[in-house]
Amino acid sequence: MHKNLMLIVTLVLGLSITCWADIDQAQVMEIGSVNSLLLSGSGLIVGDSMNVVTGNALQQATSANGRVFTAQYEDATLMQSIIGAGVGGSYGVDQTGLGIASQLQTQDGTDQADQNQSLSAALDTQSAAVGGDAVLGTMQAFIGNQVQLALTPYSASVNISRTNVIDSGYIRRNAATTLASSGIQ
């Protein structure tokens, strides 16, 4: 009786060790924002505008037999800021920002995982001024982080990426029409 039980336990354990599991994970996260400032008047005019957008995503998976574990995490922050001061005239600034984070991870349970990550940002600032004298300052920043992890009885795989993109500008305007733009893609 004990020999048969031992044979069954050994057979079950042996099969669970050799069972493979496929895990496929994909995630995409986008964060975007538009920030604007319009100053207009005949005397001293001062203004500022700021946006902060954040996002994060987490995926986890474990195979049916519990032998394979995978996880993906990503977070991102998009910051935009405009500050301006002038005497007379009209001044306008528009900022558009978009951050994209994507990850793909596959694990067949036998070898190292296939892991792909992408972090990108498109930041654009447009400004216009008519009449008067002014000083305008602008800043946009995208910060993104990604981590992927895959564990099997035979391997461990980790993939980490980080991106920082900063776009800043300074606009000095004297009594003539001024147009300026900056952008990063």
161-172 per-position pLDDT tens digit: 999 999 888 777
Question: Bridge partners of 122?
Answer: 98
Confidence of residue 139 (pLDDT cuts 50, 70, 90): very high
20-79 per-position pLDDT tens digit: 557 888 889 999 999 999 999 888 999 999 999 999 999 998 887 888 888 999 999 999
CA–CA dist 103, 113 (Å, integer): 13
Q: How many residues does the chain have?
A: 185
CA–CA dist 46, 139 (Å, integer): 17
In the prediction, which pLDDT does 57 show? 92
In the prediction, which pLDDT does 11 show? 38
Contacting residues for 47 by C-beta, under 8 A, at least 6 apart: 37, 38, 39, 83, 84, 85
The single-letter code of the amino acid at 131 is G
In the prediction, which pLDDT does 169 show? 83
CA–CA dist 111, 156 (Å, integer): 9
Confidence of residue 13 (pLDDT cuts 50, 70, 90): very low
Which of 39 and 183 is assigned the larger pLDDT? 39
Confidence of residue 173 (pLDDT cuts 50, 70, 90): low
| DSSP secondary structure letters along 99-129 | EEEEEEEEE-SSSPPEEEEEEEEEEEEEEEE
Tell me the HSE value of 96 on the side-chain side, using a 13 A CA sphere.
Answer: 7
